[in-house]
Chain A
Amino acid sequence: MNLVNVTIRVQRFNPTIEKRPRFQLFTVPRKEGMSVLDVVLHARDYQDHSLGVRFSCRMASCGSCGMKINGLPRLACYTQVAELKDDVITVQPMDNFPIIKDLVTDLEGFFEKHKSVIPNIVRSDRAEMNNPSAEYLMSPEDLKAILQFTYCIKCGLCTSSCPTVATDSLYPGPQALAQAFRYTMDVRDEGGDKRFQELDKVHGIFSCHYAGSCSAVCPKGVDPALGIQLLKRHVLSGKPPRRSGEGSRLWKAQS
């Protein structure tokens, strides 16, 4: 391993002017605690300003810097150079997304699918929603059922690794389905029936073949494959886990 420099092999592709992707090598000085994003940004800042890369928080919170690093979908800011054993680090844009330029992918369709599963709490008592009479609490057990799914940062790594998304463009993908599970299982939610209509159709939730790659690549430790399998059970029975907000009524704080 070269302790002075880091060599990075970046896939370059501008679909508006190029026909096929190519690779470009950059060598940047190695620093302690350097992430792959630091290497890419160094290459962009000091060697080639035209290198396209998307990033924001640099602390695995925003989910902007998802890319394929040495063949695996990962967050560039969350991947230390030191943990990669190869002498040359290969970075490519995420699979299953259209490429805008170099490492930047188009996430518009991804967010559309996210929206399609109604990723918010739905309730029938609109007046109560607008002017709540009390604070609605969840029991620790109810929270535990959905907590890991609330950690999703919508980086798209799970969708990028999913073999079903690769072949079926209408399949919602693990991120959207895991969020459908998260909100359906929320005791305050009453939108399960509406959500099930969206999921219970061709190219819907039953297209998941349980490859499990989504769970293997999630940088936040979410297990979308688990959520999808549990949600399948509820869709098969045709009944959301809780109806009419009974759980939330149980835990409505006394005012």
Chain B
Amino acid sequence: MTDMKESTLTKLQYVTAIAALVLVSFHLLMQGVLVPYSTALSFQHVLSLYRSWIDGALLEIMLVVVVAHGFNGLRIVLMEFRQARTWSTWVGRGAFLAALLAIAYGTRTVILAVTGTVS
């Protein structure tokens, strides 16, 4: 990913932006329609969502999309701070690694909840 062309990363940024808008809007809409916002964030309700494989898969997709968009955006911002080859290389690698860690940790949570390990 760190060796990708900027045009490819820009396309990724555009696609994830649109996907995040659609998914998060859908997510918020469903929570607002199905249950009142006051109870939507209660532990048991959130857990009940993860119990469903469909909801779990949706949350996983949302996680990947938002993390990819956020960390690529952060990379773009950090690139403007300094103009040096080593800075660019390490910012690229750092953003990629941080995104992978965030996705790994989030995926762990989704899997634990979906398989019923957390109750």
Which residues of A approach B to under 8 Å, CB–CB?
164, 167-170, 200-207, 232, 235-236, 238
Contact = CB atoms under 8 A, between A and B. Distances in A.
B104 to A, nearest CB: 26
Contacts of B79: 168, 202-203, 207
B91 to A, nearest CB: 9
Contact of B7 (A168, A169, A236): A236
12 contacts: A167-B80, A168-B79, A168-B80, A200-B5, A201-B5, A201-B6, A202-B88, A205-B6, A206-B6, A206-B10, A232-B10, A236-B11
Nearest to A169: B83
A235 B11 CA distance: 11
A202 B6 contact: yes
A170 B7 contact: no
Interface of B: 5-7, 9-11, 76, 79-81, 83, 88, 92
A167 B11 CA distance: 24
B85 to A, nearest CB: 9
Contacts of A232: 10
A207 B7 contact: no
B83 A170 contact: yes
A170 B83 CA distance: 7
A233 B83 CA distance: 25
A169 B87 CA distance: 14
Among all A-B residue pairs, the 7 with the closest Cβ atoms: A170-B83, A206-B6, A200-B7, A206-B10, A167-B80, A168-B80, A169-B83
A104 B88 CA distance: 33
A168 B88 CA distance: 12
Nearest to B5: A200
Among B7, B10, B83, B92, chain A packs the most CB atoms within 10 A around the CB of B7
Contacts of B81: 167
Given A202-B88, A206-B6, A168 B11 contact: no
A203 B7 contact: no
A164 B11 CA distance: 20
A49 to B, nearest CB: 39
B12 to A, nearest CB: 11
A89 to B, nearest CB: 34
B6 A204 contact: yes
A238 B79 CA distance: 23
Contacts of A202: 6, 79, 88, 92
A232 B10 CA distance: 10
A236 B81 CA distance: 24
A236 B9 CA distance: 10
A170 B82 CA distance: 10
B75 to A, nearest CB: 9
B83 A236 contact: no
A25 B10 CA distance: 49
A231 to B, nearest CB: 11
Nearest to A170: B83
B84 to A, nearest CB: 9
Which of A169, A202, A235, A236 has the largest number of chain B CB atoms within 10 A?
A202
Contact of B83 (A168, A201, A205): A168
Contacts of A164: 80
A206 to B, nearest CB: 5
A45 to B, nearest CB: 41
